[in-house]
Amino acid sequence: MDREIVKKVAHLARLELSESELNAITNKLTLVLQHFEAISQVNTEGVIPLVTPVDIEYRFREDVVEGDISVDEVMQNAPSRQGNLFKVPPVI
């Protein structure tokens, strides 16, 4: 695991890391990857990848409108607003 990859992943996750954090996390992630490398030694030929450990019947919802939350409720979570729209720093 090199520092550049860690920097990139941190950027994608919008995390700001200091130099010392970057060093520490690079070391830790290297250990994590080594752990997975060890696991990947296991022969999995013919084994279907496990998407979920719960083997239960699929559940659908019928196409019926219900359970909207009100504008007032949803806007309670807006740190900043303009009318009934969430206002955030400019992003293009």
Q: Which residues bind another protein (CB under 8 A)?
A: 12, 14, 51-52, 54, 56, 58-69, 71, 74-75, 77, 80, 82-92
Angle separating helix axes 3-12 and 19-39, nearest 10 degrees? 100
User: Based on CB atoms, which residue is closest to another protein, 19 or 66?
Assistant: 66
User: Based on CB atoms, which residue is closest to another protein, 42 or 53?
Assistant: 53
User: Based on CB atoms, which residue is closest to another protein, 38 or 56?
Assistant: 56
Token digits of residue 55 = 């083997």
Token digits of residue 85 = 């729209």
CB of 66 to another protein, least distance (A): 5
Report the distance separating Cα 36 and Cα 45, nearest Å: 17
The backbone torsions φ and ψ at residue 21, rounded to the nearest 5 degrees and listed phi first, read -65, -40
CB of 79 to another protein, least distance (A): 12
